[in-house]
Amino acid sequence: MYNFTNLYEANSVQEALELKKQYSNALFLAGGSDILIKLREEKIAGSDLISIYMLDELRGICLEEDGTLLIRPLTSFTDVSMHPLIKEHVPVLGEAVDQIGGPQIRNIGTIGGNICNGVTSADSASTLKAYDAVLELASLEGTRELPYGEFNLGPGKVDLRPGELLTGIRIPKESYEHTYGHYIKYAMRKAMDIATLGCSANVKLSEDKTTIERIRIAYGVAAPIPVRATTAERAATGKPVNSQLLETVAEHALADVTPRSSWRAAKEFRLHLVQELARRAVKIAIEKAGGTIA
Amino acid sequence: MTHKLVTCTVNGKKRHYHIDVRSSLSDMLRGQEGLFSIKHGCDVGECGACTVLIDGKPFNSCIYLAVWAEGKDILTLEGLSDTRGTISDIQQAFIDEGAVQCGFCTPGFIMSSIPIITKETPSTREEIRKQIAGNLCRCTGYEKIVDAIEKTQKKRIEEREHTS
Amino acid sequence: MGIIGTPLSRVDAKEKVTGTAAYTEDLLSAHALIAKVLHSTIAHGVVKSFDLSAAWEVPGVVDIVTCFDVPDIQFPTAGHPWSTDPKHQDIADRKLLNTRIRCYHDDIAAVIAETEIAAIEAVRKIKVTYEEYDPILTIEDAMKPGARAIHDEKPDNVIVHSSYEIGSFEEASKDPELIKVTGHYETPIVQQCHIENANSFAYMEAGKIVVVSSTQIPHIVRRVCSQALGVGFGDIRIIKPYIGGGFGNKQDALTEPLNAYLTTRVGGRVVQLAYTREETFACTRTRHAMQFNIVSYIQKDGTFAARSIQAYSNQGAYASHAHALVANAVNGFRMMYPVGAIKGDAYTVYTNMPTAGAMRAYGIPQIGFALEAHVDDIIDKAGFDPIEFRKKNMMKLGYVDPITTITCHSTGLSECIDKGDAYLDYSKKRAAYAKQDGPVRKGVGMAIFCYKTGVYPISLETAACRMVLNQDGSAQLQVGATEIGQGADTVFSMMAAEAAGFTTDRIHLISKQDTDVTPYDTGAYASRQTYVSGMAVKKTAEAFKAKILAYAGTMLNRDPWDLDIRDNMIVHTNQTEPLLSVADVALESCYSLKQSEHIAAEETHHCADNTYAFGVCFAEIEVDIPMCQIRVLDIVNVHDSGIIINRQTAEGQVHGGMSMGLGYGLSEFLKFDPKTGRMLNDNLLDYKLMTAIDTPELHADFVEPHDPTGPFGNKALGEPPIIPVAPALRNAMLNATGVAFDSIPLNPEKIFFAFTKAGLIK
C-alpha cells in the first residue's frame, strides 16, 4: 500500500491539465518508477497524485511531415528501444534507454519521466541533449517549445512551470540525418544500475569520411545537470578523423565538466572516465559513421 | 475517492476487485486473489521477486498501481499450471535443471522467462541473461536458471519446426 | 549404495515452481496487526525520553512500546547451541529494545497498528530526545586509550583477545637465510542479501507464544525468545516454514524476540514484524570486516618455516557471534598451511557499526582472501611455482590439528588443484601472461582452502531425527535440521531412503519445523547438517528398519537378523525374492488384533568428530586498464566434499557460492557515513549484487574421496564455495597487471587509484 493521499486519474491531456490546475500541489504520475519509490522512502509521503499513466495519446513515436522525429513522453523505454523509427534514425537513443534497469523497469519507465525528474544520471538525457532535442510543454494556456538544452535548471529541477505537462520530444531531421552516435553508460553493473558516468557522442562526417563535419558530446553525472562538452566539440569540429582527434576531445572535455566526489565515486575517478569515455564514444561513433581511426 | 472497482483478467479469468486506490498490483493480487507466488523482496522494483506479466510483458507488481490494471491481462505463476495442476514446460525445466534452491526468487524468474521461451528465434545465453537481469538470485548464481530457459526455448522452437 | 549419488530432483521443487510453497508472509492472517520498529538516528548515545503524543494520535495505532517498557533482561542472539558452562555462553548484551544506543538504526521503540501505513506514520511521529556521544566506527578508535566503553562489561571495547602458538615463532624465524614476506590485508563489510527479508509474525495460542519466522535455527530461536522474555523454553513455540535464503544472517535471533514480546502486549493477537529491505540491510547482521597482518618466513626450498598473524575483527554494536568468527579465521590460517611454527593473535572489538554476525563460511572467506593473496605475494617475490608451493605446504592426509584436534580423515585437495589447473590451462597461461603490455591484459589466478565440517569440538554438535511409518508403508521423516535452499530436505530424504531400504518416493520429509513436535537440531550453519544431522537421519533410519524387520520377523516367523529391506520390500539378506512388502508389515502392525504396534524411531546423534573439506578456484580475467574494469573470462571451483550425495543440488550450491564470491571479490561492500555511522547503500540498487548479466558462466567439479566419518562419506559443502573465489580473482589481477591488491572488492574506483599509483594510468 502506498502512502499518498488522493489519486486523480486523468483520461485526457486536457483533464490532466485541469486536475493540475485544481490540485496544484499534486504530482504527475507517469510510470511511477521514480515517484512510487520516493513514496516508499517517505520523501513525499502524503502527496496527492495525478495519474497520467493511462493516456495513450501520450504514447508513440512518429515522423512528422518535415521529417522531425516525434517521441511522445509516455513511451516506455522498451518501446523506444524497439521502435523501427528509432532504430532507423537515432539508434543510439534506443541503445541508451535499453541500458536502463532491467526488462521490468524498461517496461514501466517512460522517456518523459526520465527527463522530467531532472537527474543528471538519466540515461536518455545525455543523448537527447546531444541531439538538440526540442520539448513540447503543454498547459491550459497553450503549448510552448523549449530546447532540451535549457530544460535542466539544477539537480532534480527542470523548467516545467506550474500547470505544465511534457507532451512531446522532438528531434529535428537535420539533427539526426547522416549522424551516427554511441552512448557509453559506465556503471558498477551491466544492469539495474545508475550511471557513474554517461557519455553520448554523435558525429556527422564529411562525405569522404575523413573529417568531422559536426560533433556533439554530452555527459551525464559529470555535472549537476546533463552537459554538452562544447569546448571539446569546438576543438574537434572540422578536424581530421584520426587518433589525435580522440585525444583532443578527451583533453578538452575536462573544461566542460564539474564532477563531484560523492560516496558513489571520487572526483578524480570521474574526471578520468570523462576522458576515457570521450575517446571511446567518439571512436565508436566515427566507426559507425564509416570512418576509420588510424 | 479512496476506493475503486478494478476490472481485469487474471490468469485467464475476468475479475472485479474493490480496492483501496493506494494498493499496488502485488497488494491486490496477493490480498484479493491469494496469489502468493508474488513475493516481496524489496518493494521498490529492484529485485524482481514480484514479477508478473501484464499483456505479455514483465513488470514489477510492487511498483505498479493496482488501478492501472484496469482492462489488462495479467498472468502470474499460478496461471501456468492447468486446472488439474499439470505444470508447464518451463516449470518442469526449472525442476529438471536444478534451477530452484530456496525458491523465493523462482516465481519472478519463471515469469520473466516466458517472453524469452516464446521467441521465434533462439537466444544466446548472453541474451537470456540480459532478459533476466531484472531478477536477483542469491542462491543459484543464475547458471542453472539460464540452462532451464535455454533448454525450454530450444525445445519449443524444435517442436514448432516439427509441426510446421 | 543405491540412492546416494544418483540424480534426484529436489523434493520441494514442485512446490516452489508452482508458487504453492508457503513462506512466512504467505501464512499471515489477513487481519494481523502490523508492528514497525523505530530505529535510532544516532550511532552512539542514550535515549533520554520520548514524546509519543503525536504518534498516539495516528488512527489505527494499538500500542506503542519503548525501550523503557521492555523486560530488563539482556540476552544473547547468536545461533549457537546453549552452553551450560557460564564461561562458554554467548554474550548477553542487548535487550528487546535498547536505551543505550550502540549503532545507527539501533532498536529503540516499536508501534503496533492496524495497518502498515498507520504503523509507519506513527513511528515517524515519535519524537526522541537523545544524549549523543561521538560514534566510534573503527577498530583503531575503539581500542584507543580512553575511548568510551560501548558496553560496560568490556571497558576497553575488546570483547576477546585470544592467541595461540605452535612451536616457537621466534626460534623458527631466526635464520637469516629465510625469505621474509609481510602483508596487511583487509576485507569489507558485506551482507548476506537473502531475497526474503527478515520477517516473522507472532500470536498466542494454548498458553504458548507462537512465532512463525524465516529462520535457519528454530530450536535455538525458541531458547533465545524464552531467555529474552524471561519465560520457559516450553512457553515458546517456533514454526519455520519455507524460507527464502539465510546465508548466516538468519543464524541469529532477529525479529523473533521482539515479535514474541509484542504479541503479549496485545493479548496474543497476531502481530507481524517484517523488515523492509533497508532494515534487513541496516538492522540485522553483516559479515565481519577483518584486518590481518601476516608475516611469513620461508625456506629457500619453499617450505614455510614460521608464520604469524594478527587479526582484528570489527564486531559492531552487539556481540552476536562475537569472537567465534575471527577465531575461526586464525585457526583457518594455521590449518591451510600447517607447516612450521605458527603464531596467531585475534581481537574482536566492539564499535558503533551495525552488528556483525554469521555469514557463509564464517571468517574463512576473510582469511581465505588474506592468506591466498599473501601466498601469491610470496610467490611473486620469491619466484616459487604457485602450485608446487601450495602442494608442499598444504594439509595432508592424517594431519591432526594440535589445538582443535580435528583430523584430516580424507583429502582430495591435490586432485582438485590438478583438475583446476588442467581446466584453465593455468600454469601455461600464467607464464604467458606474466609480461604483457597494452591497455587490455589477461591474467589467471588460483586459490585453495580447507574448511571444517560442523563446530565440534569448539561447540556442541547434536541432532535428532524421527521416522514414523504409515499404514501404506510410506514414512514421515522429521528433522530439526532446516531446508534453507541448500537442498537439505532432498539430501535427508535420500539418506533416509538409503539407510532404511526404501525408495525416495516413499519418504515424506516434513519441511516445516515446529519446535512443539520437531526433534531437536541446532539448525543450518557451519555446513554441519549433511554431516551431523545426516548421521542422525542414518541412525534413525537404521533403527526404523530394525523395528520394521522385528515385526516382519514375527509375521514371517523368521529371525529379523536374516532379513533386510530393499526397495520397499522385506527380503532375506542373501536373496532378492521379496517375502513381504513394507506396506504389508505397516498395515498389519497397526491393526493387528494380536499385537498392535505403531512403528516409529527416534535417534540422537551426538557428533564427536570433525573432518576437513577442501577445494580450489581457478579464474581467468581480462582487465581493461583505462576503464578500470574486470571481465571474468572463465572460472571453475573444484571441491573435495567427500562423497557427493546429490550432484545437481551440490553443483547448485557451488554456483551460488561462486556468485557470492564474485560479489565479494569484485563489487559488494557496505558504505557508511564516516561522521554519523549511517549505512549509505542499504538497498539493492546501491549495494552491488551481481545480476545475471554481470555473472560469468560458472563451472563446478568435484573430487570425491570417501570420508570415513561422514554418514555416507560426505563432508562440508554448503559454505565452502564462496571461499576461494575472491583471492583467485585478486591473484589473476596480479598476474595480469603486476598490481597486488591487499583489500577487496576490486571495484573500478579502487582499481583506478591502484593503477594510477602503479603508473598504469597517467
For domain B3-79, give the CATH number.
Answer: 3.10.20.30
Residue A127 has pLDDT above 70, yes or no: yes
Q: How confident is the model at residue A64 (pLDDT cuts 50, 70, 90)?
A: very high
Q: Are A162 and A24 in contact (CB under 8 A)?
A: yes
Listed in sequence order, the residues at least 6 apart from C154 whose beta carbon sits closer than 8 Å to its beta carbon are C350
Q: Do C671 and A263 touch (CB under 8 A)?
A: yes
Q: Are C237 and C222 in contact (CB under 8 A)?
A: yes
Please state the separation of Cα A119 from the chain's center in Å: 10
- pLDDT value of residue C575: 86
CA separation for the pair C494, C477 (Å, rounded)? 11
**Interface residue of C17, C216, C631 to substitute, partner B, most B CBs within 10 Å:** C17
- Write down the domain spans for chain A: 7-51, 56-174, 189-288
Find the helix or strand (DSSP H, E) in which C13 lies: helix C13-18
C16–B35: do the CB atoms touch at under 8 Å? no
Residue written as grid cell 576522458:
A275
pLDDT tens-place string over residues A7-61:
999 999 999 999 999 999 999 999 999 999 999 877 899 999 999 999 999 999 9
Q: Would you call B64 an interface residue with chain A, using a CB distance cutoff of 8 Å?
A: yes
Task: State the pLDDT confidence band at B163, using cuts at 50, 70 and 90.
Answer: confident
Shortest alpha-carbon distance between residue C486 and chain B (Å): 6
Strand pairing report for A212-220 and A180-186: unpaired
Residue of B nearest to C246 (CA): B102
A107 and B135: CB-CB below 8 Å?
Answer: no
To the nearest whole angstrom, how far is the Cα of C626 from the nearest Cα of chain A? 7
At B110-151, the pLDDT tens digits run: 999 999 999 999 999 999 999 999 999 999 999 999 999 999
Query: B133 with C691: CB under 8 angstroms?
Result: yes
Question: Selecting from 1.20.1630.10, 3.10.100.10, 3.30.70.100, 1.10.150.120, what CATH number does the domain B89-163 have?
Answer: 1.10.150.120
3-state secondary structure of C635: strand
Q: Are strands A69-71 and A134-139 parallel, antiparallel or unpaired?
A: unpaired
Domain ranges for chain B, please list them. Answer: 3-79, 89-163
Question: Do C742 and C183 touch, CB atoms closer than 8 A?
Answer: yes
**Interchain contact B41–A (C-beta under 8 A):** no
For residues B50-84, one letter each, b for 16 or more C-beta atoms within 10 angstroms of the residue's C-beta and e for the rest, the string is: bbbbbeebbbbbbbbbbbbbeebebbbbbbbbeee
> Does residue C135 have a cis peptide bond before it, meaning omega lies within 30 degrees of 0?
no
Chain A contacts of B136, Cβ < 8 Å? 192
Among C722, C141, C145, C170, CA closest to C486:
C722
C757 contact partners, CB below 8 Å, separation of at least 6: none
Q: Which residues are C65's β-sheet partners?
A: C110
Nearest to C693 among A186, A191, A263 (CB): A191
Cα-Cα end-to-end distance for chain B: 53
- Phi, psi dihedral angles at A59 (to 5 degrees): -115, 150
Q: For residue C24, what pLDDT is reported?
A: 98
pLDDT at A41: 77
Q: Which of C626, C688, C752 is facing A188, going by the closest CB pair?
A: C688
d(CA C631, CA B124): 18
Q: Closest by alpha carbon to C384, among C424, C417, C430, C443?
A: C430
Which helix (H) or strand (E) is B94 found in, with range? helix B89-96
Residue identified by cell 543528471 is A120
Q: Residues of C with CB below 8 A from B46's CB?
A: 277, 683-685
Residues paired with residue C286 on neighbouring β-strands, in sequence order: C356
With cell 561522521, the residue in question is: C675
Report how far residue C740's alpha carbon sits from residue C730's, in angstroms, rounded to the nearest whole number: 7
Predicted local distance difference test score (pLDDT) of residue A236: 98
At residue C1, the pLDDT reads: 57
* C667 contacts on A by Cβ (under 8 Å): 188-189
CATH fold, domain A189-288, is: Enolase-like; domain 1 (3.30.390)
Determine whether the interchain pair C692/B142 forms a contact, defined as Cβ–Cβ distance below 8 Å. Answer: yes
Report the Cα B54 to chain-centroid distance in Å.
9
Q: Which of C628, C691, C756 is closest, CB to CB, to A192?
A: C691
Give dist(CA C188, CA C366) in Å, integer.
Answer: 9
Domain boundaries A56-174, CATH class: alpha beta
Nearest residue on chain C to B40, alpha-carbon basis: C196
pLDDT at C576: 82
A147-192 pLDDT, tens digit each: 999 999 999 999 999 999 999 999 999 999 999 999 999 999 999 9
Judge: C13–B31 Cβ closer than 8 Å, yes or no.
no
Split at pLDDT 50, 70, 90, the class of B63 is very high
- Residue (of C699, C688, C692) closest to C620 by Cα position: C699
Q: Is B46 in Cβ contact with A51 (below 8 Å)?
A: no
Nearest to B95 among C9, C25, C276 (CB): C9
What is the three-class DSSP state of A130? helix
Q: Are C363 and C721 in contact (CB under 8 A)?
A: no
Query: How high is the pLDDT of residue B1?
Result: 59
Touching check for A192 and chain C: CB below 8 Å? yes
Average pLDDT over residues B61-86: 97
Measured between alpha carbons, how far is residue A241 from residues A203, A211, A291 in Å? 11, 5, 7
First to last CA, chain C: 62
Interchain contact A66–C (C-beta under 8 A): no
**Residues in chain C with pLDDT < 70?**
1
- DSSP annotation string for C468-514: EE-TTS-EEEEESS--SSSSHHHHHHHHHHHHHT--GGGEEE--SEE
Instruction: Work out the angle between the directed axes of helices C364-382 and C386-393 (0-180°, nearest 10).
Output: 120
State CA A186 to chain mean position distance. Answer: 15
Angle at C531 between CA C528 and CA C532, to 5 degrees: 70
- CA pair distance C480, C519, nearest whole angstrom: 5
Q: Do B20 and A1 touch (CB under 8 A)?
A: yes
ipTM of the complex: 0.98
Q: Does C747 touch chain A (CB under 8 A)?
A: yes
- For the record, the C-alpha cell of C427 comes out as 600454469
Q: Is the peptide bond before B58 cis (omega within 30 degrees of 0)?
A: no
d(C-alpha B72, C-alpha B63), whole Å: 16
The CA–CA distances, whole Å, from C283 to C142, C172, C318, C363, C674 equal: 21, 46, 11, 20, 18
* Residue C522 phi, psi dihedral angles, 5° rounding: -70, -25
